[in-house]
Every structure is written in structure tokens, then in C-alpha cells.
Amino acid sequence: MYPTPDKIVAAGEPAPDVELKASPTQTVRISGLHGRPVVLAFYPADFSPVCTDQLSLYQTAAPAFAKYDAQVLGISTDGVWCHQAFAQQRGLKFPLLADAWPHGAAAQAYGVLDTDDGLAARALFVLDHQGVVAWSYLSPSGVNPGADGILAALDAMTAKAVP
């Protein structure tokens, strides 16, 4: 069953602290990124048309994200080798994290596991410096959510931090 917006981790809630593989020998723990904004982009699958467009857009938008010192992380249930091939083919410089084992555990923790097919739903989370969700969005499956919502959330966090 595809998740519903009322079931995903919402703004104001602490981000679930998950640890995922970024490569065969390297892991990333969400709490290890506290101190800077973090963008979590859950997506169904490497090499799928909408996911390819979405993640390529985030690579193109990297300079805009860098203005906020935001770390972008792509997360799907694909394995690290698939991620490496996808990143290389598409020129992606931000980490793609494998939610492969236990299968979909991070997607489930964030409320975005599509239980019909075992894939992550297309969802975005912006975490603040303390690891609290500042903004979350569940996109329809076949729709690229773009970057506007992410940038608006980062703007709002910046405006809030300035006295």
C-alpha cells in the first residue's frame, strides 16, 4: 500500500536515526550529520525514468543547496552496487544510501515504505541542524517533486535562525 501524507514523519518530529550503507565499506548515520541541514530524498528505484529526472535535478541544483550548507542524500531500497552504477552514469556527486538490509527499514521508519512493492515511496524530508524534521512531503508515485519545496524549507529555516 502506498503511504499517505498523514503517516509520514511530520515537521516538528525528530528524524529517525538510521544508519545506511553509502558504499560497500562506508555507512552514514543521520545523527552524524547534525549541525547542518540535511535533505533526505527517498525514491523508488535507480534508473527508473522519474527517479533519474528527480535526482539529476538535485545534482543540477547542488549550488543552490550549497548556499545553505545542506547535505543531500538519496535513499532507495537498491543496493550499493546499483547506486554506484547509477551515480556514475548520471554524474551524481551526493551520496546515495542503500536501504537494502534490513529491507526498507529506513523507509519504514520515515513512514514511506510502499508495502505493495517493497520500495521507498517518493518522499522528501528537510532536517534542521538538530535533526528535527523542518519539512516533509510525500509525492505521488510518478511525479517528480522538484526542488522548490526543499529550497522554500531551507529558506524558512534560514529566516528562522536569523534574529
Q: Do β-strands 123-127 and 96-98 pair in parallel, antiparallel, or remain unpaired?
A: unpaired
Catalytic residue among 18, 40, 51, 134: 51
Cβ atoms of 120 and 114 closer than 8 Å? yes
Tell me how far apart the alpha carbons of residues 37 and 43 are, in angstroms, rounded to a whole number: 19
Whether 82 sits among the annotated catalytic residues: the reply is no
Omega before residue 145 within 30° of 0, cis: no
- Catalytic (active-site) positions: 51
